Amino acid sequence: MEAGRRGIIDSIGAGFALVHRWPALLVLPVLVDGLLWLLPRVSPRPLLERLVEQSGSLTAGGAQSGGPNALREQVVRTLEVLQGANLLGVLGWQVPTFLHPLSGQGFSQGDLFSVSSWGQGFLVVVALALASVLVACLYLGALAQGAQEQPWQPRLLLSQAPRYWGRLTAYLALLTGVVLVAVPVIGSVWILLQAVAPVLGSLFLALALSGWLVVSISLYLTKPAIFLEGLGGLAALRRSIALARRHFWSVLGLFLLLNLISLGVGLLLVRVATLPWGLLLAIMGNAYLATGLSAAVMVYYRHRTGLSPEEIGT
């Protein structure tokens, strides 16, 4: 195979080979899952209970006036489900974890504390999100070192973590801002078209999903650009878009294959988690799978860009 052109399957094999060489890479995902499993939850229940009461009043008013209330009822049901959420799950935002905020799985059923206001909830979520980014910097930084085929250097990783944190935070803040603007706009247009003609609504939704796929592929290599080339958020984003445009079908294949593997094995792990001691096995299995696939993306990026070990991280 031509140098610098390692294929998708070879990259996946190299990613899992890295996990076999450095099993310590599994520590951070397992640690975050362990915290979600063992610690009392941070509950938004008081805040959501007030929203449920307000939504219920609106639903009752709609029913008395004869207006449609199916949407309001769905909102109430959704809010009731969210009352069982654990905001600590935000720690897993940027780290691959098996447990999630709505899993309800854990040894402790009590609350560490309850969020009672929007301001308090915002601060809690932001603090946990920034902590998640920091953990992700250590995790992805270690994977980047492994992709160099160099010995593990924990001291170098710790010294680089603040720089990684700033760059990754800037990129994620930009991405989050775009999503917060785009989703309401797209949703409003879809609702309007759906009301005018369901066919138009369906067509618009299909176009929106296609656009989401193209954007996802274009941004897929942004994190490797940050951690392997040391680029800033915007520069890494531009680098990812350029590589995805140049190697579109290859990046598309990598994106689809890794997501299919994650989905298939993830469904299996959900069933394993229901067995005695199965949750622990599922957590370990998820950490192994996610770390191997994340390492594969790093390896793929390095060989597609032709970076030498000396050029990485400079």
Instruction: Give the pLDDT confidence of 47-81 residue by residue, as tens digits.
Output: 777 776 766 555 554 444 444 455 566 666 666 66
Domain count, the chain: 1
Token match 């989905």: residue? 263
Is residue 128 over pLDDT 50? yes
CB 32 within 8 A of CB 95: yes
**How far is CA 292 from each of CA 13, 19, 152, 264, 270, rounded to the nearest angstrom?**
8, 6, 16, 15, 19
Region at 2 (left for phi over 0; alpha for psi -120 to 50; beta for the rest): beta
**Does 68 reside within a domain?**
no
Residue 68 confidence (pLDDT): 45
**How far is CA 246 from each of CA 11, 190, 288, 310, rounded to the nearest angstrom?**
18, 32, 31, 24
Residue 136 confidence (pLDDT): 95
**Does 100 reside within a domain?**
yes
Provide the residue range defining the domain that includes 267.
8-44+85-305
- DSSP code for 197: -
**Does 292 reside within a domain?**
yes
**Does 123 reside within a domain?**
yes
**Does 91 reside within a domain?**
yes
**Does 71 reside within a domain?**
no
**Does 54 reside within a domain?**
no
Is the pTM above the cut of 0.85? no
